[in-house]
Structure 1
Amino acid sequence: MKKKWITHITLLFVSLFMAYPILWWVSAAFKTNEEIDSANLIPHYPTLANFAEGWFAIPGFTFTHFFVNTFELILGVLFTTLVSCSLVAFAFARLDFPLRKFWFSIVLITLMLPSQVTLVPQYDMFNAFGWVNTYLPFIVPHTLAGGIGGAFFIFLLVQFIRGIPKELDEAAKIDGCSWFGIYFRIILPLMKPPLVTVAIYCFLWNWDDFLGHLIYINSVEKYTVGLALKMFVDANSAVPWGQLFAISLVSVIPAFLIFFFAQRYIVEGEASSGLK
C-alpha cells in the first residue's frame, strides 16, 4: 500500500511538472505585457483585453477571416481525403489486380519517407503549375490519396475492410452489384468508425501544418491562423506577448474540442482496424 501511495505521488508531481508550461501559457493570456515576465502563475491583475485587442491586431483583417481561411482549406482536404483514401483502400483490400501487393508495399514504404525529402521537388512542381499562394498544393495531393497521412489512412482503412466478410460482396454480386455498387452500398456504410478516425487525424494534422502553410501561402489575405499568429512577432518592434498568447490559446480550441469529443471514435476506429 505504501509503494502504491509513493507511485501516485510521484506521478502527480511529474504530471504537474509536465503541465506547468501549459498552465503558464494559459495564465500569460490573461496577463498584461508588463506582468508577462513575472514568475507568478496567477495574474495579479487578470485582463480580457488581450483577447479583444489581439483579435483585431492585424491591420485590415480580423482573426475571424483567418479562421474562415483555415476551415476552408481543411474542409477541402478532409473531403478529398475521405473519398480518395477509402477508394484506394477498397481497391487494395478487395480487387485483384496485377502487382497489388507490390504497390501496397510501395504505399507503406512512403510512411518511412521524411516529408523534408520531397519538400523541394514538390515546391518546384507546384510552382511550375502556378499553384503557389493557393490552397491547391494541399487539396490536390489529398485528392490522389497523398498529402499528410495519406499512406497511414490507406493502411488503416485496408485493415478494417479486410475484416469485413467477403460473403457480403458475393451476395451483392449475386444481386447484380458492380464493384462500385459494393463499395457504396456495402463497404462504405460499414466504414464509419475508421472514417471518423481518419477525419479526426486529418483535421488535427492539417490544422497544425505550419510549415506547409508557410511555404505555399504568401498573401496575408489567404493566411491561415498559424501564419497570422506569426505576424505578432516582429524583430523591429515590441512584441505584444499578451495578445499573442491569448489568440494562440483561442487557436487551439477547435483542435482541443475535436479531440475531446471524438476521442472515443479514435479508439474505436483503431481497435476495429487491428491497430492497438
Structure 2
Amino acid sequence: MDLRGILHAAAHINRDQIAAGPKVRQAASRTANFFIAAVRTFLLVGLSFVILYPILYMLSVSFREPAELYDLTVVWIPRTLTLKNFHYVFFESGIAFLPKILGGFEAGALLRSFMLSLICTVLQVFTCSLAGYGFARFRFVGRGALFAVALFTLIVPPQSINMPLYVNYVGFTKFTSEILGGEGIQIINTLTPMALPALLGTGIRAGLFVYLFRQFYRNMPSELEEAAYLDGCGPISAYFRIMLVNAGPILLISFLFSFVWYWNDYLNVSLFFNKSRPMSIELSNFWNYLNHQKLPDGSAISRSLMGVYVQVAALLFIAPVLLLYIALQRFFIRSIVTAGIVG
C-alpha cells in the first residue's frame, strides 16, 4: 500500500471515531445518570423506611387483636381488624376523654394538649409578628441591643429560668392569698404559666420567630406603608391592614413550628402541671397507669395488651401533628418558597 492509501485509511478511521464520539459520550452520560438516580433512590427509600417504620408498626399493632402479637404468621397486616384498642384508650383510659360520674365526657389529656398548643401558638405568633415589625420598621434607641437580647433567648437553656418562674408563680399565689384570703389566685395547673410567656414574646423559641418576622418585614417594600400613610393610616393601622395581611407565608411557617414545639413540650408542662396534665406527660406515664387498671371483667391487663394500648396512645399523640401537616403541606411548601428569608 502506497503512502496515499495509508493516509486515506487513517482519515477514514478518524472520521469514524469523530462520528462515534458523541454516541460514546451520550452512553457514558446515561450510565452516570442511571447510577446517580439509583443511588438517590436507594438513599430515599432507606431513609423513608427508617422514618416510616415506627409509624407503620404502630398502625399494624393498633388495629390487631392482642393474641396476634405472638403469631409469627402475622407480620404487618392483621388477620382481624379491631377498634377495641382505640375505644379503650380513647374513652376509658382518660387519654382523650374522661368519663363523668353522671354520664357524658369531659376534656382529657389529648384535648387539653390541643387547646394548650393552639392558644399558646396563636398568642406567640401574634406577639412575635408585632415585635418583628417593630424591629424592622422603626428606629429607636437601643433597637440593636433589644434585638440582640431577643436572639440571646435562643441560646439560654430553658432549665435556667423555669425554676425561677415556678417560684414566682407560687409566690404570687401566696401573695394573693394573704390579701384576698382563701387559696388566692391559682397559676400552677392552669393555662397561665404557658400562655403568659407566649403573650409576652418569651415562649418556646420565641426569639427565632421574632427574627423570622423581622427579616420578612424588612424585605417588604416600604411603598406599601407609605401609600397607607397617605390614605390616613397610622403605624398600627398599617400593620394590621397592610403588613399582617401580606405576611401569610411567614405566619403559616411560624404557626406550624410553634404548634409542634408546644405540642411536643415536656419540660415546661411537667413543671407547671401536676394534675389535669397534657398528653406529653400522660403518655410517658401511661404504662404505669395501665399497671393499676382493670379490664371490664375485673381481670388485670396483660403485658401484651398493655403494649398494644401504649402503641395506640403513641399513635393518637402524633396523629394531630401528622394530620395538620398533611392538610397544610401544600401551603407550607409554598410558604417556604415565597417567604424568601434573606439577610
> Which of the residues 61, 67, 83 maps onto 2:98?
61
Q: For residue 136 of structure 1, what is the amino acid of its counterpart?
A: T
* Unaligned residue ranges in structure 1 (runs of 5+): none
Residue range with higher mean Cα deviation, 222-231 or 59-68: 59-68
1:129 paired residue among 149, 156, 172: 172
Checking the alignment, whether the CA contact within 8 Å between 2:133 and 2:217 is kept in structure 1 is yes
**Which residue of 2 is the match for residue 206 of structure 1?**
262
Output the TM-score relative to the length of structure 1. 0.87
Gaps of 5+ in 2: 1-30, 100-104, 174-186, 293-301
- 2:125 & 2:42 partners in 1: Cα distance? 44
Counterpart Cα distance in 2 of 1:232 and 1:167: 56
Matches of 1:6 and 1:190, distance apart in 2: 42
Q: Which residue type is aligned with residue 12 of structure 1?
A: V
Aligned residues of 1:197 and 1:265 also touching (Cα < 8 A):
no
Q: Equivalents in 1 of 2:192, 2:82: separation in Å?
A: 40
User: Is this contact kept in 1: 2:64–2:78, CA < 8 A?
Assistant: yes
Rounded Cα–Cα distance in structure 2 between residues aligned with 1:24 and 1:198:
31
| In structure 2, C-alpha distance between the alignment counterparts of 1:199 and 1:141, rounded to whole Å | 16
Q: Is the 1:156–1:273 Cα contact (8 Å) retained in structure 2?
A: no
TM-superposition CA deviations, 1:163-208 (whole Å, max 9, x none): 1111222222233322112212221111112112211122211111
> How far apart, CA to CA, are the structure 2 residues paired with 1:17 and 1:268?
27
- Separation in structure 2 between the aligned mates of residue 126 and residue 264 of structure 1, nearest angstrom: 41
When Rg is computed on C-alpha atoms for both structures, the one with the higher figure is 2
Counterpart for residue 52 of structure 1: 87
SS at match of 1:41: coil
Where does residue 112 of structure 1 map in the other structure? 155
Deviates more, 1:179-188 or 1:11-20: 11-20
158-167 or 76-85: bigger deviation: 76-85
User: 2:319: which partner in 1?
Assistant: 253
Using the size of structure 2 for normalisation, the TM-score is 0.71
User: Which residue identity lines up with residue 281 of structure 2 in the other structure?
Assistant: L
Q: Are 1:78 and 2:121 counterparts? A: yes
Are residues 31 and 215 of structure 1, via their aligned partners in 2, closer, same or farther at CA, if it must alter by over 3 Å?
farther
Q: CA deviation at 1:142?
A: 0.7
Residues 225, 194 of structure 1: alpha-carbon distance in 2 compared, 3 angstrom cutoff: same
Structure 1 pair 10/146, CA: closer, same or farther in 2 (3 Å)?
closer
Matches within 5 A, 1:119-268: 119-130=162-173, 131-219=187-275, 222-234=276-288, 237=292, 240-268=306-334
Query: Retained in 1: the 8 A contact 2:162–2:268?
Result: no
* Number of the residue aligned with 1:89: 132
Structure 1 residues 48 and 87: alpha-carbon distance in aligned structure 2, compared to 1, 3 A threshold: same
Q: CA deviation at 1:64?
A: 6.7
Higher relative contact order (CA 8 A, sep 6+): 1
The structure 2 residue matched to 1:41, chosen from 55, 76, 79, is 76
Q: CA separation in 2, counterparts of 1:140 and 1:200?
A: 20
Number of equivalent positions: 274
Q: Which residue of 1 aligns with 2:57?
A: 24
Q: Classify 1:47/1:263 alpha carbon distance in 2 versus 1 (closer, same or farther; 3 Å).
A: same
Shift in CA distance, 267/73, structure 1 to aligned 2, threshold 3 Å: same
Q: Give the alignment's Cα RMSD to 1 decimal.
A: 2.6
Identity %: 29
Do the aligned residues in 2 keep the contact of 1:82 with 1:195 (CA within 8 Å)?
yes
Alpha-carbon distance, 1:3 to partner: 1.7
Aligned partner of 1:15 in structure 2 is 48
